[in-house]
Amino acid sequence: MAAVQPAPAHSRQFLSGNEAVARAAWDAGVRVAAAYPGTPSTEILEVLARFPDLYTEWSVNEKVSLEVALGASMVGARALCAMKHVGLNVASDALMTLTVTGVEGGLVIIVADDVGMSSSQNEQDSRFWGRFAHLPVFEPADSQEAYTLTRAAFAVSEQFRTAVIVRLTTRICHVKGAVTAGEREVIEPAGFEKDPPRWVMVPGHAKPRLPLMFDREAALREAAEASEFNVLEPGKDMRVGFVTSGPAGMHVLEAFPDAPVLRLGFSYPPPIERIRALAGQVERLVVVEETEPLLETELKAVGIDCHGKDILPRLGELPPNILTPAIDRLLRGDAPVEIDRPAPQPVFPRPPTLCVACPHLGVYYTLSQLRNVIISGDIGCYTLGAGHPWNALDTCISMGASMGMALGMDKGRGAKDANKKIVAVIGDSTFMHMGMQGLLDITWNRGNVTILLLDNRTVGMTGGQDNPASGRDIHGQEAPRVDFVQLCEALGVRRERIRKLDPYELPTLFKALREETKIDEPSVIITDRPCVLIGEYKPTQAYKVIDDTCTGCGNCLDVGCPAIHVTRRGQETKPSGKVVDLAFVRIDTAACTGCGLCVQPCAPEAIVHAQRLQPLSFIRQPGSTA
């Protein structure tokens, strides 16, 4: 990936919040930036990686990314790490200690909360990490503020020798706006100063530093009171005033342009006295925050009367159509009611599904054919295996959890599940993120689990980023590639119980699963096919359906490929009297990549190459381009 020169300073650009953060980090003189991809934060590092004069990396997980950034800070360099909200949970071990050590070079942690759960398994409010770890939190409300506050965060970090959290939300990350950038700073790292009482966090060293952490938090409270990023928008209608932060502040300004609004860009520690002053000027004070009542609770604890989650929902965004009726009821004195979110408009159902020719299609088709099996799932594209037509995933909790949960199922099962096979499904990037420890636990504790390690050579769910299994770094340069066979063997799986195969070969995959699930020891099946959306994937000749040959059996539909469409349905009565449903299909040849998955379950051989109207008489072998 060739470096690009960012637009000149003081020019207006149309940037998303993620792009604005990346530009701000470069302008702030960041020397090291690390992240693990996760929607909605992924683009921050992708953009930064194109800028010159700094080091960027995809780390194997968020904890490592924070440790890389902290190491850079220790030698005096400015550093940034970025992650989505659930990633900060992974990084919290390092986070809760660096708040005691403090930092040297400016260290900014960008965390993107997925308010409304557009692409996440939970909705959490990362502002709590500021309170929990005694760290300042900045909350931009648009792309320009994302730029401004990120740059300012580095200065605050170095002024108070603390990491700074910049909390984004999905709306900030992905919505674009006009941004004017400033001049770039060039900062030479001061170098590492040996200081074991500060950097070696044994109990004897940590205890004396705790009072320093609390002193720092007190100084940050004073800074928040005076901060230019906490802006009071004056109003004439004093019946109600608002205190808010982030994009919720923009919603308040849109819905109530005549009301006084205190928007907090420097939101933790909160500027209590400024809020108290506003509360004394209005008849009612309303705290509008996405998603938890963090600020509301703080204000009530210091005796400031306010409304918040008693009239507003605790989940999702707070746009004007939610705010306006809630405030109207408050002003009328009506009793609070359950917030009615508008029902989604009826549209043609389009459930999420795997891509055409996705190498996971064969895996879930095969799993769906197995009986008496419990399938422990994980986070990634393959989570979609829980849906139609496969229904071949029974659990999904967090990154890497498929391994530990599978072991727990094995060890905790009773008579009802005694004869069931336990399979764990995990992707290549997820395995390296947090799954390796789970496999080690399985082998060490002699678990009876079959692991399906789906190697598609990329981080597919977040857009095709490279990882240690792809053989490329973030810049597309050649890098060492993990050998999963050797890795699994090193983690304790016997070499005889490790198989590597092509997931397009359904009979081979089915046979491997049948055999490995019968073995009373850990085993690993590695599927080896690149994601269809990366350059390494090579499409071949498309297929079509011969209408006169198709019997409507519908076997090809069970593969789940979205290039296959039902043209008409019917029924047939067998001699036994049984009525069988029929589904006649066609293949969208423009979408078909020629993977051949649908050909293999087609009994009447009605699926042929689009340009060679002959039945396929073979099953593709690994490496074949036929």
Give per-residue pLDDT as tens, 306-356: 999 999 998 889 999 999 999 998 988 776 656 556 666 777 677 788 999
Q: Are residues 76 and 174 in the same domain?
A: yes
**H or E element, residue 405:** helix 401-412
Residue 164 maps to a domain: yes
Measured at the CA of 242, the angle between CA 165 and CA 296, to 5 degrees, comes to: 60
The pLDDT value recorded for residue 64 is 94
> Quick one: which of 394, 400, 390 has its CA closest to 420?
394
- Give yes or no for a contact between 482 and 468, defined as CB atoms under 8 angstroms apart: yes
Q: Within 13 Å and on the Cβ side, how many CA atoms surround 276?
A: 12
pLDDT digits (tens, 9 = 90+) for 588-625: 999 999 999 999 999 889 999 987 444 433 333 333 33
- 169 by Cβ neighbours in 10 Å (0-12 / 13-18 / 19+) ranks as buried
Contacts of 175 (CB under 8 A, 6+ apart): 16, 17, 142, 143
Contacts of 576 (CB under 8 A, 6+ apart): none
Write out the two tokens for 187.
């900062």
- Tell me if residue 203 falls in helix, strand or coil: helix
The pLDDT value recorded for residue 2 is 66
Write out the two tokens for 287.
């705290």
Q: Within 13 Å and on the Cβ side, how many CA atoms surround 612?
A: 10
- 94 by Cβ neighbours in 10 Å (0-12 / 13-18 / 19+) ranks as buried
Could you identify the residue written with the tokens 């992708």? 46
Domain boundary among 332, 350, 383: 332
> Quick one: which of 395, 389, 394, 382 has its CA closest to 365?
389
- Whether 88 has a pLDDT exceeding 90, the answer reads yes
pLDDT digits (tens, 9 = 90+) for 553-597: 999 999 999 999 999 998 888 888 888 888 999 999 999 999 999
Q: In CATH, what number is assigned to the domain containing residue 282?
A: 3.40.50.920
Residue 62 maps to a domain: yes
Q: Are residues 177 and 246 in the same domain?
A: no
- 211 by Cβ neighbours in 10 Å (0-12 / 13-18 / 19+) ranks as exposed
> Quick one: which of 484, 407, 482, 469 has its CA closest to 438?
407
Taking phi over 0 as left and psi of -120 to 50 as alpha, with beta for the rest, 107 belongs to: beta
Q: Annotated binding site for [4Fe-4S] cluster: which residue ranges?
A: 550, 553, 556, 561, 592, 595, 598, 602
Q: Are residues 111 and 182 in the same domain?
A: yes
pLDDT digits (tens, 9 = 90+) for 379-428: 999 999 999 899 999 999 998 999 999 999 999 999 999 999 999 999 99
Residue 626 maps to a domain: no
How much is the mean pLDDT over the chain?
A: 91
Residue 22 maps to a domain: yes
Residue 346 maps to a domain: no
The pLDDT value recorded for residue 54 is 95
Q: Are residues 554 and 599 in the same domain?
A: yes
Q: In CATH, what number is assigned to the domain containing residue 24?
A: 3.40.50.970
Write out the two tokens for 534.
């990366």
The pLDDT value recorded for residue 621 is 38
Q: Annotated binding site: which residue ranges?
A: 550, 553, 556, 561, 592, 595, 598, 602
Measured at the CA of 550, the angle between CA 546 and CA 552, to 5 degrees, comes to: 145
Domain boundary among 209, 226, 243: 226
- Whether 371 has a pLDDT exceeding 60, the answer reads yes
Write out the two tokens for 27.
């302008």
- Give yes or no for a contact between 266 and 224, defined as CB atoms under 8 angstroms apart: yes
**H or E element, residue 579:** strand 579-587
- Give yes or no for a contact between 557 and 585, defined as CB atoms under 8 angstroms apart: yes
Q: Are residues 292 and 325 in the same domain?
A: yes
- 354 by Cβ neighbours in 10 Å (0-12 / 13-18 / 19+) ranks as buried
Could you identify the residue written with the tokens 């764990």? 424
- 568 by Cβ neighbours in 10 Å (0-12 / 13-18 / 19+) ranks as exposed
pLDDT digits (tens, 9 = 90+) for 220-245: 999 999 999 999 999 999 999 999 99
The pLDDT value recorded for residue 619 is 34
Helix ranges (H only) for 80-182 are: 85-101, 127-133, 143-160, 170-174
- Give yes or no for a contact between 491 and 516, defined as CB atoms under 8 angstroms apart: no
Cα–Cα distances (Å) from 411 to 445, 446, 448, in that order, read 10, 10, 9
pLDDT mean over 42-48: 95
Residue 1 maps to a domain: no
Residue 279 maps to a domain: yes
Domain boundary among 503, 528, 553: 528
Helix ranges (H only) for 268-319 are: 272-279, 294-301
- The residue among 343 and 169 whose pLDDT is bigger is 169
- Tell me if residue 605 falls in helix, strand or coil: coil
Q: Percentage of the chain with pLDDT > 90? A: 81
The pLDDT value recorded for residue 341 is 60
Q: Are residues 267 and 373 in the same domain?
A: no
> Quick one: which of 112, 107, 108 has its CA closest to 124?
112
Residue 518 maps to a domain: yes
Could you identify the residue written with the tokens 């302008």? 27
Distance (Å, whole) CA 254 – CA 322:
12
The pLDDT value recorded for residue 573 is 85
Domain count for the chain, please give it: 4
- Give yes or no for a contact between 514 and 577, defined as CB atoms under 8 angstroms apart: no
Could you identify the residue written with the tokens 């809630």? 326
Distance (Å, whole) CA 482 – CA 497:
19
pLDDT mean over 44-53: 94
Distance (Å, whole) CA 409 – CA 424:
11
Lowest mean pLDDT among 79-88, 246-255, 560-569, 605-614: 605-614
Could you identify the residue written with the tokens 């359950």? 338
pLDDT digits (tens, 9 = 90+) for 483-541: 999 999 999 999 999 999 999 999 999 999 999 999 999 999 999 999 999 988 999 99
Q: Are residues 23 and 167 in the same domain?
A: yes
Q: Are residues 597 and 462 in the same domain?
A: no
Q: Are residues 552 and 582 in the same domain?
A: yes
Question: Per DSSP, what are the bridge partners of residue 112?
Answer: 84, 168
Cα–Cα distances (Å) from 114 to 174, 289, 314, 439, 483, in that order, read 11, 14, 14, 30, 34
The pLDDT value recorded for residue 614 is 45
The distance in angstroms from the start CA to the end CA of the chain is 31
Q: Are residues 575 and 430 in the same domain?
A: no
- Tell me if residue 528 falls in helix, strand or coil: strand
184-202 per-residue burial string, b: 16 or more CB within 10 A, e: under 16: eeebebeeeeeeeebeeee
Contacts of 557 (CB under 8 A, 6+ apart): 389, 564, 566, 583, 585
The range of the structural domain enclosing residue 33 comes to: 12-190+199-226
**H or E element, residue 362:** helix 359-369
- Give yes or no for a contact between 97 and 127, defined as CB atoms under 8 angstroms apart: no
Q: Are residues 501 and 588 in the same domain?
A: no
Q: Are residues 300 and 380 in the same domain?
A: no
pTM of the model: 0.88
